[in-house]
Structure 1
Amino acid sequence: MSNTTKAMNGGKWITIATAISTVFQFIQVAILARLLEPSAFGIVSVSTLIISFFQIFSNLGFSNSIIYKQESDQKVLSTLYFLNLLVGVFIFIVIQFSSPYIISFYHEPKLDRVLRFSSCYFLIVYFGQLYMFLLEKELRFKSVATIDITGTIVGSLTTIVLAYSGFEELSLIIGSLVMQTVKTVLQIVFGLKFFFPLLAFDLKNVQEHLRFGIYNLGDGLLGFIQANSDSIFIGGMLGVKMLGYYTIAYQLSVFPISKLNPIILQVAYPILAKMKDSNDALKNSYLKILDFISYCNMPLLAGLFITADSVVPLIYGPGWDMTVDLIKIFVFVSILSCLSHPLFTLAFSKGKPNLLFYLNLVTLIVKIPLVYWMGNTWGVMGIATAFLLATLFNLIANFLLVHYLIGNFWEDFLKNIAKPTLFCLIMIGIIYAYKILIGNDGIINTGVEIALGGITYLALTLAYKLSFSELKAYRQALL
């Protein structure tokens, strides 16, 4: 089976998993937005922030190093496995003892039980995580998809039932723990054929993995601060209620790229790692990934930009109008972010995660002063705008690193990006004309706007980008 066929087959299964998971998560958020106050989402957002921070330390980049080195030595894998378990227990203890200081910073007593429940995540996830890395290394994406679908469905249903039962913000936390428990059990079941832990723990055997992970850890730390400094400032300066509005707006705006991009990158990295010595092959693959990401993400984000004022009340109900202006800023953040994501595949395929570390370091130096100044001057909208400016700077620096890794790609990139950009502008124009001439209130008008946008973009793509013969070839590759 060729790498292209493997990529298409893997993409098929991850797409199925993502589509099903997206539907359940979308339903979950829509229901909870009607049951919970914005402050509840803010409280959970703080908890998620803390968990995400400690996740950086959890595997030290072992997922990337295992795939990059195509690691299969059982003694090495056993050492990495037990090392992860020890780190997980350590992080659990640290969160338990540090929660009073976090609560003091955010001035929110409800954070206490939320953080203590959330920290249990680290006692669960690392029993199965290494098995997931191995499944991805072996390109077993059907198993990966099955695990994700099952965990998401069980977790979402648990969350909704608990929310209706009055558990408030804890419903989100407990539902997340249930989801991770299901995933961990299935990861072990599917992955045991590739690895069974031996009674072996020798750090000398994993020196190369640890060295590979140092820059990945540094990149993760800087990336976390760079990506979440806005939320940290909002929670501290403006309170958890304002953070709730900000979180909902951001989640809706990044929804397309958070679901579609991992499909592409999750499949692409293990395959690119196998062609790391061919610069031309990497360049060609990078451009294809960037082109595909552009065509998938840009119409969804452009559609959200022009329909946000009617989509928000429809999805979340009354009381969330404040998120509309934030969404329109975050749409551009998402567009810039999705174009920067493929650098990940290049950096790790070339064995240079240090470049990601330096990129995040420079971006952080630019972003922190911007967020602080614009947040103090213009409040939550200022912080969102600062996030956009920092993301633009990050993309420019990102492309300079790509040029360093694979050579000149600008001409091909600009040719590729021109069509989806033009298609999106035409789509926005047609939807805007409908809103002016007919209106945008109610579910029917919203549905028509979405349908008009989808039909317009699809028609332009079929006319000027993809032929039916190419679509037929893709279909045959997927079957």
Structure 2
Amino acid sequence: MAPTQGVKTITTNVGWSVLSKTATFGLKFVTVPILARLLTPEDFGTVAVALTVVQFLAMIGGAGLTSALIVDRDSGMDTVHTVFWANLAMSLIMSVILFLGANGIGSWMGAAQSADLLRIMAFLIPLQLTADVAYSLLAREMNFSKDAILSTVSETTAALVALALAFMGFGIWALVVQLFSSAVIRLVGLYSITRYVPRFVIKPDRMGPLVRYSSGLMGSEIANFVTFQAPMVVIARMLTLADAGAYSAANRFASIPNQVVLSAVMGVLFPAFSLMGDDRKRRTDALMLSTQVMTVVLAPAMFGLWAVAEPAMLVLFGPQWAYAWPVLGLLALSKAIVTPCSTFIPYLKGTGQSRVLFWSAVLRAIATTLAIMLGATYGSLVDAMVALCVVNAITLVGYSWAVFRVDGIPFFWGLMTSSRSMLTSLVMGVGVRLTLSTFEAQLTSPYLQLLVGAVVGGVLYGAMFLVTERALVKKIIGMVKRRRGGSVADAPPA
């Protein structure tokens, strides 16, 4: 039986993961705007479309087997070797499909000129899927400190290489080399850290339990992929490649807070929830606490970006991207609306609620795709982003109802508790926008607008947070004290 993970173990791993993402946050905060100034919207759009295809084929090829390995800690190395060869075989098949079908796929995606790029990026798929097997070994042991260091090194090195190539005039290839550099460093690093050496062992009978688990997740994984990638495909097909580039650049920047916090925390919460088994009280406490903390951290960042989107776009991306500031603002707003849902996917995955995860993901994917299509058909890129905000508001209510129903949490209490900081952040964002509008004549510089917006937003949110989240602060302080004192809660139960 796997050891029970206490609060101390989970928070330590979350800390390492967040530290890793924070270390790359500053670099991405700088590199994305610099690359946007050196490259064109069409460059961003072309790479974004190609990467969408690669990620989809990699997801299909992996079939969720490595996620199943993380949950099934009792499986031996023969099972790990079998998954490695299965992933490698499927990744090669997907690469061949992409290489041979590049012309047709590029045209269907609305980027016919991306065919050569798709052929090159087909080689990313084996790099990603074979690395995932080694990562699963780290995740099974909740050993995220080593992965945190490796992620920092790979992302930082790849970003610096991309900047150098962009300055040297390599254009779109700077983004391509960035992707390959990161993938290669991650692959080599994971196998060095885990010291995993694949052996030619293939035992199909060991795959049965993994396939049963992964098959329950694959539908939801595909649906989630459609939710997050459908806007790019629809925009490229129904609008222009420049619009797709504007969406890609704005989305890259607006997603930085999520990348820093969510990608770190979700990677830890998934195996953590899976270890809690049938201990409903621990699961409920962990779900509500993690949801509240994520909302407290992410909501003010996203609503703040929405409030200062116009000066931020001009300062960070330059005059050639200034027209796209509504896209940046609306993307930030759409992400802010669903911040209370940030822990729902790892919770449902970790607790084996594949049916709820599947239908929630499918309904969200359908709604998102239809909304973006309608917005693009009868309006512009901005109208499509407005439609995305509306869908996310509906998603917040529907997703919360589904998850709270599974865990037995009263819906209205759970929704208000998890969304309280989001509503506080919304009030803060509105206050910042009203301030900038009121003093528009005095704040003529976009730099000054950003400074004033940050100060006003910080003061407003800080004051409201102290009033509305006193119980959460007390809980966190209590956890810190217990951790320092070596609380019994961190020890496995008798």
2:375 and 2:252 map into 1 onto residues whose CA distance is 21
CA contact (8 A) 1:8 1:477 kept: no
- 1:419 Cα deviation from its structure 2 partner: 4.5
CA contact (8 A) 2:47 2:176 kept: yes
1:477 and 1:51 map into 2 onto residues whose CA distance is 43
Match of 2:451 in 1: 447
CA contact (8 A) 2:428 2:457 kept: no
Quick one: structure 1 residues 471 and 441, their matched pair in 2 at CA, closer, same or farther if it must change by over 3 Å? Answer: farther
Quick one: structure 1 residues 351 and 472, their matched pair in 2 at CA, closer, same or farther if it must change by over 3 Å? Answer: closer
Quick one: structure 1 residues 165 and 423, their matched pair in 2 at CA, closer, same or farther if it must change by over 3 Å? Answer: closer
The runs of 5 or more residues in structure 1 that have no matched partner are: none
Match of 2:305 in 1: 304
Match of 1:13 in 2: 16
SS in 2 for 1:128: helix
1:54-133 matches, within 5 Å, as 54-106=57-109, 108=111, 110-133=113-136
Query: TM-score scaled to structure 2, two decimals?
Result: 0.89
Query: Of 444, 456, 461, which residue of structure 2 is paired with 1:457?
Result: 461
What letter is aligned with 1:350? T
1:414 aligned onto 2:402: no
CA contact (8 A) 1:268 1:345 kept: yes
SS in 1 for 2:379: helix
Quick one: structure 1 residues 420 and 67, their matched pair in 2 at CA, closer, same or farther if it must change by over 3 Å? Answer: same
Quick one: structure 1 residues 2 and 43, their matched pair in 2 at CA, closer, same or farther if it must change by over 3 Å? Answer: closer
- 1:121 Cα deviation from its structure 2 partner: 0.8
2:444 and 2:408 map into 1 onto residues whose CA distance is 47
Quick one: structure 1 residues 440 and 152, their matched pair in 2 at CA, closer, same or farther if it must change by over 3 Å? Answer: farther
1:241 and 1:125 map into 2 onto residues whose CA distance is 28
Match of 1:276 in 2: 277
1:469 and 1:203 map into 2 onto residues whose CA distance is 48
Quick one: structure 1 residues 328 and 175, their matched pair in 2 at CA, closer, same or farther if it must change by over 3 Å? Answer: closer
SS in 1 for 2:381: helix
Post-superposition CA distance 1:35-66 (Å, at most 9, x none) = 11111111111111111211221321123222
SS in 1 for 2:192: helix
Match of 2:339 in 1: 338
- 1:458 Cα deviation from its structure 2 partner: 3.4
Post-superposition CA distance 1:120-151 (Å, at most 9, x none) = 11232233221111212211111010110000
1:387 and 1:470 map into 2 onto residues whose CA distance is 34
Match of 1:52 in 2: 55
Post-superposition CA distance 1:383-420 (Å, at most 9, x none) = 22232233333333312321331012331441353255
What letter is aligned with 2:386? T
Match of 1:347 in 2: 348
1:250-265 matches, within 5 Å, as 250-265=251-266
CA contact (8 A) 1:74 1:197 kept: no
2:310 and 2:176 map into 1 onto residues whose CA distance is 30
2:301 and 2:161 map into 1 onto residues whose CA distance is 29
Match of 2:294 in 1: 293
SS in 2 for 1:363: helix
CA contact (8 A) 1:151 1:182 kept: yes
- 1:344 Cα deviation from its structure 2 partner: 1.4
What letter is aligned with 2:447? I
CA contact (8 A) 2:220 2:357 kept: yes
CA contact (8 A) 1:276 1:350 kept: yes
Quick one: structure 1 residues 414 and 430, their matched pair in 2 at CA, closer, same or farther if it must change by over 3 Å? Answer: same
- 1:255 Cα deviation from its structure 2 partner: 2.5
Matched-pair identity in %: 16
1:139 aligned onto 2:142: yes
2:464 and 2:394 map into 1 onto residues whose CA distance is 31
2:484 and 2:251 map into 1 onto residues whose CA distance is 33
Query: TM-score scaled to structure 1, two decimals?
Result: 0.92
2:279 and 2:474 map into 1 onto residues whose CA distance is 32
Q: How many residues align?
A: 477
Match of 2:359 in 1: 358
2:10 and 2:405 map into 1 onto residues whose CA distance is 26
4+ runs of 1 displaced by more than 4 Å?
A: 106-109, 466-473, 475-479
Quick one: structure 1 residues 357 and 171, their matched pair in 2 at CA, closer, same or farther if it must change by over 3 Å? Answer: same
Match of 1:168 in 2: 171
SS in 2 for 1:139: coil
1:364-443 matches, within 5 Å, as 364-410=365-411, 411-422=413-424, 424-426=426-428, 428-430=430-432, 432-433=434-435, 436-437=438-439, 438-439=442-443, 441-443=445-447
Q: Out of 371-380 and 268-277, give the one that drifted further.
A: 371-380
CA contact (8 A) 1:155 1:176 kept: yes
- 1:474 Cα deviation from its structure 2 partner: 3.6
- 1:459 Cα deviation from its structure 2 partner: 4.5
- 1:246 Cα deviation from its structure 2 partner: 1.6
What letter is aligned with 2:452? V
- 1:27 Cα deviation from its structure 2 partner: 1.7
Q: Out of 309-318 and 381-390, give the one that drifted further.
A: 381-390
Quick one: structure 1 residues 15 and 368, their matched pair in 2 at CA, closer, same or farther if it must change by over 3 Å? Answer: closer
- 1:251 Cα deviation from its structure 2 partner: 2.5
2:19 and 2:444 map into 1 onto residues whose CA distance is 32
Q: Out of 437-446 and 318-327, give the one that drifted further.
A: 437-446
What letter is aligned with 1:305? W
Q: Out of 457-466 and 219-228, give the one that drifted further.
A: 457-466
Match of 2:488 in 1: none
- 1:243 Cα deviation from its structure 2 partner: 0.7
Post-superposition CA distance 1:91-118 (Å, at most 9, x none) = 1111101111023335645412321221
Quick one: structure 1 residues 415 and 103, their matched pair in 2 at CA, closer, same or farther if it must change by over 3 Å? Answer: closer
SS in 1 for 2:338: helix
What letter is aligned with 2:417? K
Quick one: structure 1 residues 215 and 247, their matched pair in 2 at CA, closer, same or farther if it must change by over 3 Å? Answer: same
The runs of 5 or more residues in structure 2 that have no matched partner are: 486-494
1:63 and 1:304 map into 2 onto residues whose CA distance is 35
SS in 2 for 1:322: helix
Q: Out of 429-438 and 399-408, give the one that drifted further.
A: 429-438
Q: Out of 180-189 and 249-258, give the one that drifted further.
A: 249-258
